[in-house]
Structure 1
Amino acid sequence: MTTALQPPLPSHPVLRLRLAAHSGMPRPIDGAWWPRSYDLLTELPKLLAGLPRKWGHITSVTVNGATWSEVPGRMLVSNQPVQLHRSLATSAAHTIVLLAPGRGRWDLLVVPPDTTAEEAEPLMEAAAADHV
């Protein structure tokens, strides 16, 4: 009898992020992020670490203040300061805005953490699709 070894579980859960292909044309949404919780202090460093290097250093992040738990004025991410802003606009309830000076602005759809995989997958796919 042989025993199949299970691969070890990753020490860090895989970042659930889908980004649209860069086309040079402005887009209303640049992709989707599916965090595991509404704890911004835990989730944001993981998101920023998983972004493409060409986006540069994100210095400012705006989230919906009614959606996320605690949102301090700023935090250190990889020893770099990041300004955090709260928006109460209902039009941006499920988005996060990332700014990198001299590089650009990216708006990501935030899929609620309690969304099932069956519900999240089409949302993430649509946010990253070319026809958005």
Structure 2
Amino acid sequence: MVHKLVVDVMPGSARSKPDPIPAPRTPRFLLRGQGAVPSAIDGVWYPWNTDILTELRTLIAAVSLRIGSVTRIAFAWDTVGVTRVRIDEGDGIEIRGPYPGQPSDLVYLDSASGCALALMVIPPYTDPERGNVIMQAIVDPLKGDAYRVQ
């Protein structure tokens, strides 16, 4: 389990109102190591909250380091309560529903270079300890190096 130390540098009386738009958080995901045993799942994404679309931008930026520029995302959006999905048209990313036969808990990210990732999505309301256990089980760091961004 990962523990984080949080230091409050502003006393309660000196705080201003919270920002109306929260700052983007580092995406919480694991990718299987490049030398890992082959699998149909390349990693796992555990969003911080139910605002999947806000978190999608940070996930795209992070996975682009591994597979290059993301051009298409396929997911069963209604499984996480998202009924309308849109990313700025200038990004050149096609957002679509699932491919035929695609499991509803997997998101597929395709890149311009032909690389692709299949990430299992852990529902954001999952207990953090349980979410971490699931992440580790999917990536199985004993069989290959894990690439962790958190």
TM range (shorter): 0.7 to 0.9
Shift in alpha-carbon separation, 1:43–1:115, aligned structure 2, 3 A: same
What residue identity is the alignment partner of 1:126? A
Aligned length in residues = 125
Structure 1 distance, partners of 2:108, 2:8, is 36
1:56 and 1:103 in contact (8 A); partners too: no
CA deviations over 1:28-62 (Å, ceiling 9, x no partner): 10110001234342121011112252410010000
Aligned runs of 1:1-132 on 2, under 5 Å? 6=7, 11-23=23-35, 26-68=38-80, 69-72=82-85, 74-76=86-88, 79-87=90-98, 92-129=103-140, 131=143
Task: Indicate how the Cα distance of structure 1 residues 15 and 27 shifts in structure 2: closer, same or farther if over 3 A, else same.
Answer: same
**2-side partners of 1:102 and 1:66: how far apart?**
28
Structure-1-length-normalised TM-score = 0.76
CA RMSD of aligned residues (A): 3.0
Q: Provide the rounded CA distance (Å) in 2 between the counterparts of 1:15 and 1:40.
A: 11
Shift of 1:115: 0.2
Distance (whole Å) between structure 1 residues aligned to residue 60 and residue 131 of structure 2: 20
Q: Which has the higher contact order (CA 8 A, sep 6+)?
A: 2
TM-score between both structures, scaled by the size of structure 2: 0.68
Say which SS state the counterpart of residue 50 (structure 1) adopts.
Answer: helix
Q: Which has the higher strand share?
A: 1
Task: Give the structure with the higher percent helix.
Answer: 2
Tell me what 2:17 maps to: none
Name the SS of the counterpart of 2:97 in structure 1.
Answer: strand
Q: In percent, how many aligned pairs have the same letter?
A: 23
Instruction: Work out the CA distance in 2 between the residues paired with 1:75 and 1:109.
Output: 21
